Amino acid sequence: MSKDCGNHAKIRPPRRHQIFAFNLSQPNLLTTNFQVTFASRNPNSKIGIYYDRLHVYATYRNQQITLRTAIPPTYQGHKEDNVWSPFVYGTAVPIAPYNSVALGDEQGRGFVGLMIRADGRVRWKVGTLITGKYHIHVRCPAYINLGNKAAGVLVGDSAVKYTLVTKCSVSV
């Protein structure tokens, strides 16, 4: 299977991002700390879904900028919804010089385009039969407004919450 046909599960895009840190320093070090929210709906009345070894992380121009955050193994029953809100972070992550220049330009314009990714394995349960493991890859573009805190909701002294509506791609 190369693409999810939509009959097994739908992974919704991150609805809210809560940003605690996003700092680019010299020489080409990036510190990030934010929380993302994913929701998955199983519309099927006869198939359950096991999510195994699911990891969430962020990339900038195809370079990983946060550590992988593990999501606990989860079973999703018939017509159920699951919501995950992991924290993803990276402290003084070295980034490529050309990405540092591009990131500095985007920060100067007040927004940064990231890709929130989730990778793992899924299995389906039909009656008593449980399938083998399939790789799942979720990609959600996130365009984060950094220049104007008024565009988000201030949470505490330094965190800002943004509601983002993007379309995720899912491949199995």
Pick 93 or 20 by higher pLDDT. Answer: 93
List the structure tokens of 169: 């791609």
Pick 157 or 119 by higher pLDDT. Answer: 119
pTM for this predicted structure: 0.80
Domains, the chain, in order of start with CATH, read 10-171 (2.60.40)
Pick 83 or 162 by higher pLDDT. Answer: 83
pLDDT greater than 90 at residue 5: no
| Residue-level pLDDT at 65 | 95
Mean pLDDT throughout 80-97? 92
